[in-house]
Amino acid sequence: MSSPDPAPGLRELKKQRTRQTLSETAVRLFMERGYDNVSVAEVAAAAEVSKPTLFRYFAAKEDLVLHRFADHEDEAARVVAGRGDGEAPLGALRRHFLEGLRRRDPVTGLCDHPAVLAYQRMLYGTPQLVARLYGYQERSERVLAEALGGSPVRARIAAGQIVATQRILAEENVRRIVAGESADELEAAAVSTAEEGFRQLGEGIGRDYG
């Protein structure tokens, strides 16, 4: 039996806290004043660090906003790798997405908490952030393809279809909530749409991963 991963040391904990503080400070300023109206230098000053220090934690201004997506980059891959005996990859991903809808996970788009809505409006209303988000999704595709296994090309194509489907499902939920529907009102439709999305995936890639 392998030993559990060691707890992070004090230095690593300090880095994590600094990274979180920088991201939270940036998102707050961007939502208050608009993404384009706040400079990286202003974020650094508000977080009481130097601009070079900020760039040691975040390579680009966009990453200050998209930091919270980094924790989800390998989520689909982890779901596939950790699925139960006899459970197909696509079945595990479908189950995980539906569970996310039920618990109002912001990643599914089915979340009407005011802070989440404000963040999503800023994200999807800023072209630079949307463009950068695709980079995170490409990395999600790569690690998911590795978890799926099999032919590298077929796995990469399947991973691309899965990630795109989940993104479209989430974006549709966000669109409807921003338009005025509550998460509770939308849940049944969101579940139905997710079922249809995964059904279509099953028809396309089910022979290998369904």
Write out the two tokens for 150: 């099999």
Neighbouring residues of 145: CB distance < 8 A, sequence distance ≥ 6: 152, 155, 156, 158, 159
Radius of gyration of the chain (CA): 19
Write out the two tokens for 82: 């950790």
Question: Is residue 2 over pLDDT 50?
Answer: no
CA–CA gap between residue 155 and residue 157 (Å, rounded): 5
Give the predicted TM-score (pTM) of the model.
Answer: 0.82
Of the pLDDT bands very low, low, confident and very high (cuts 50, 70, 90), residue 4 is low
Q: In b/e form, how buried is each residue of 80-114, taking b as 16+ CB within 10 angstroms? A: bbebeeeeebbbbbbebbeebbeebbbbbbbbbee
| pLDDT tens sequence across 138-182 | 899 999 999 999 999 999 999 999 999 999 999 999 999 999 999
Give 14 or 95, the one with higher predicted confidence. 95
